[in-house]
Amino acid sequence: MADEHELAEIQRRHWQDTYAARPGMYGEEPSNPAVHAASVFRTPGAMDVLELGAGHGRDALFFAREGFTVQATDFSAVGLEQLRDAARFQGVEERVTTAVHDVREPLTLPDASVDAVFAHMLLCMALSTKEIHAAVGEVRRVLRPGGVFVYTVRHTGDAHYGTGTGHGDDIWQQGGFAVHFFQRDLVDSLADGWTLDEVHAFEEGSLPRRLWRVTQTLPQ
């Protein structure tokens, strides 16, 4: 069983290799959570969106096509290169910037500098509970008052929970991908000091994966 740092590096290499071998692996259509997030972000008049774990960019590009200015981060330089190429092809490169970033590290953005943050299945990567709390703390720091955070995570009702290789802290690995499966009390603890607007259960993919879509708002 790998320790936290070893597991993180293994996952980084795995994602780099996966994006290189399967360019645009998730297709061009946005995820359903991104479509939901765009409608939620419009309500308070958000313009600047930060996407964490953007991958090759299907959701970041959707936000840009919808008129948002998007800052897309991921720890895979290969995925972000594909995102930039697609942004140029779609004519939205002026509304998209990218940065290689590991969510375990502090964001390089100033305090209160973005209107909204989106993260589809990023927080349920191979992150410890402590690292997840730190990441959400960074989201809170960079959001403006009244800003909205929409994220999705696989939860302990998922068919893969408790199977494969266990790394502790509810992290289980199937094949090359390690997942931190969320319990509901973790969602609630991450919303401490926020307004928890919604915890919506949904399914995605052919397994299917079972997830929660969480929407929470920073107080004014």
Tens of pLDDT, residue by residue over 60-70, are: 999 999 999 99
Please tell me the distance from the alpha carbon of residue 192 to that of residue 158, in angstroms, as a whole number: 25
Residue 15 scores a pLDDT above 60: no
pLDDT of residue 22: 57
Query: Helices 77-90 and 58-65: crossing angle, nearest 10°?
Result: 30
Residue 180 scores a pLDDT above 80: yes
First vs last C-alpha separation in the chain: 44
More confident residue, 23 or 102: 102
Q: Quote the mean pLDDT of the chain.
A: 91
Q: What percent of the chain has pLDDT above 70?
A: 88
Residue 209 scores a pLDDT above 90: yes
pLDDT of residue 47: 97
Residue 157 neighbours by CB under 8 Å, 6+ apart: 210
Classify strands 209-217 and 143-154 as parallel, antiparallel or unpaired. Answer: antiparallel
Rounded average pLDDT over 154-176? 94
CB 143 within 8 A of CB 114: yes
Indicate the domain borders of the chain.
4-217
Rounded average pLDDT over 146-156? 98
Record: fold of 4-217: Rossmann fold (3.40.50)
Rounded average pLDDT over 46-75? 96
> Residue 161: is it exposed, middle or buried by C-beta count within 10 angstroms (0-12/13-18/19+)?
middle
Confidence of residue 44 (pLDDT cuts 50, 70, 90): confident
pTM of the model: 0.90
Rounded average pLDDT over 167-191? 94
Question: Residue 170's CB: how many other CB atoms inside 10 A?
Answer: 19
Residue 12 scores a pLDDT above 70: no
Residue 208 neighbours by CB under 8 Å, 6+ apart: none
pLDDT of residue 1: 45
Q: Is the dihedral of CA 189, 191, 195, 197 positive or negative?
A: negative
